[in-house]
């Protein structure tokens, strides 16, 4: 079965420090991987994606993510956190093969809090 | 402006009273989907549609109906709402033939069923 795991419900970091939000997945074949961010009272916004190629992908607002095929992980990172980065972050995997072609599976979300 | 529009943003209703949450997108996307978001459970897919007149069940379709008569609209229908359908609902769209395209989300509908 396809699944996405975000092992941490909450991540707390001080402003200026690096941050990592973890994601691991289980899906058949080569998946497409995404990160979304949700601010209060808003829908999800796309941050970045991995399709193929370089394992380190860069996205919006200074975020980047590293794809690791052997560990089936796609951790979100930022070298220097801002208070305005505080939000709910979702990892998602899109199945590109089999009976669930095209479906997108989300993790449970990680609440990131950056304190001043 | 390219967007997915959901209405209403907030809805309070009583058990058993039929309701419809509308969703419309102006990006000519073929793929549309409904999700519900609950604390600790993340986003769960209710129904999705690959194109006009094509709909499929997601992970939690019980108690919901959808229709896709036009490309731009994908309404979510609750024939007989129950309190366990109290949730935050999101509509999303994307071009399906490019599975590397991200979803575009509406701003959500917060439904309370008493």
E-strand stretches of A15-109 = 19-21, 24-26, 32-38, 44-50, 56-58, 64-68, 73-78, 87-94, 104-106
**Please, are residues B16 and B78 in contact by the beta-carbon 8 Å criterion?**
no
- Find the CB nearest A96 among B31, B99, B107: B99
CB contact under 8 A, A41 and B33: no
Q: Does B102 touch chain A (CB under 8 A)?
A: yes
Q: How far apart are CA A87 and CA A14, in angstroms?
A: 14
Mean pLDDT, chain B, rounded, equals: 93
Q: How far apart are CA B48 and CA B54, in angstroms?
A: 9
Q: What is the pLDDT, as a whole number, of residue A89?
A: 97
Sort A51 into a burial class: Cβ within 10 Å, 0-12 / 13-18 / 19+.
middle
Q: Does B40 touch chain A (CB under 8 A)?
A: yes
* B59-74: average pLDDT: 97
Q: Does B45 touch chain A (CB under 8 A)?
A: yes
> What DSSP designation does B73 have?
B
- CA atoms lying within 13 Å on the CB side of residue A3: 6
Sort B67 into a burial class: Cβ within 10 Å, 0-12 / 13-18 / 19+.
middle
B39 vs A108, B15, B44, CA distance in Å? Answer: 8, 22, 11
Q: What is the pLDDT, as a whole number, of residue A79?
A: 96
- Residues in chain A, how many? 116
Q: A-side interface with B, Cβ within 8 Å?
A: 6, 9, 32, 34, 36, 41-46, 49, 51, 90, 94, 96, 101-104, 106-109
- Find the CB nearest B99 among A32, A44, A108: A32
Token look-up 């070298």 returns A79
* A2-19: average pLDDT: 94
CB contact under 8 A, B108 and A106: no
Nearest chain B residue to A5, by CA: B42
Q: What is the pLDDT, as a whole number, of residue A77?
A: 97
**Banded model confidence at residue A25, pLDDT cuts 50, 70, 90:** very high
CB contact under 8 A, A96 and B90: no
CB contact under 8 A, A102 and B96: yes
pLDDT of B61 over the 90 cut = yes
CB contact under 8 A, A44 and B58: no
Over residues A29-64, the pLDDT tens digits come to 778 899 999 998 888 999 999 988 889 999 999 999
* B65-76: average pLDDT: 97
CA dihedral B55, B70, B110, B94 (to 10 degrees): 70
- Find the CB nearest A44 among B48, B96, B105: B105
**Please, are residues B70 and B53 in contact by the beta-carbon 8 Å criterion?**
no
| Count of Cβ atoms closer than 10 Å to residue A99 Cβ | 7
Residue A99's SS3 state is: helix
E-strand stretches of chain B = 4-7, 10-13, 19-25, 31-38, 42-51, 54-57, 65-66, 76-78, 87-94, 104-105, 109-113
CB contact under 8 A, B33 and A104: yes
**Banded model confidence at residue A1, pLDDT cuts 50, 70, 90:** low
Reference A103, options A16, A12, A9, A28; nearest CA is A28
Q: How far apart are CA B60 and CA A11, in angstroms?
A: 29
């Amino acid at each position: 079965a396809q699944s996405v795991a975000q092992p941490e419900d909450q991540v707390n970091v001080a402003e200026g420090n690096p941050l990592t939000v973890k994601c691991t997945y289980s899906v058949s074949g080569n998946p497409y991987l995404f990160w979304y961010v949700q601010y209060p009272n808003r829908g999800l916004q796309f941050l970045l994606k991995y399709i193929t190629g370089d394992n380190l992908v860069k996205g919006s607002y200074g975020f980047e993510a590293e794809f690791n095929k052997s560990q089936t992980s796609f951790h979100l990172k930022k070298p220097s956190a801002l208070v305005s980065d505080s939000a709910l972050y979702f990892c998602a995997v899109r199945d590109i093969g089999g009976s669930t072609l095209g479906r997108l599976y989300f993790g449970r979300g990680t609440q990131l809090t950056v304190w001043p | 402006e390219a967007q997915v529009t959901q209405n209403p943003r907030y809805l309070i209703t009583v058990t058993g009273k039929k309701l419809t949450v509308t969703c419309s997108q102006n990006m000519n996307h073929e793929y549309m989907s409904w999700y519900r978001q609950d604390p600790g459970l993340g986003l769960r897919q209710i129904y999705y549609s690959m194109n006009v007149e094509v709909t499929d069940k997601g992970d939690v379709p019980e108690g919901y109906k959808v229709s896709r008569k036009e490309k731009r609209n994908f309404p979510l229908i609750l024939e007989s709402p129950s309190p366990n359908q109290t949730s935050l609902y999101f509509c999303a769209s994307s071009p399906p033939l490019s599975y590397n395209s991200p979803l575009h989300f509406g701003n959500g509908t917060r439904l309370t069923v008493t």
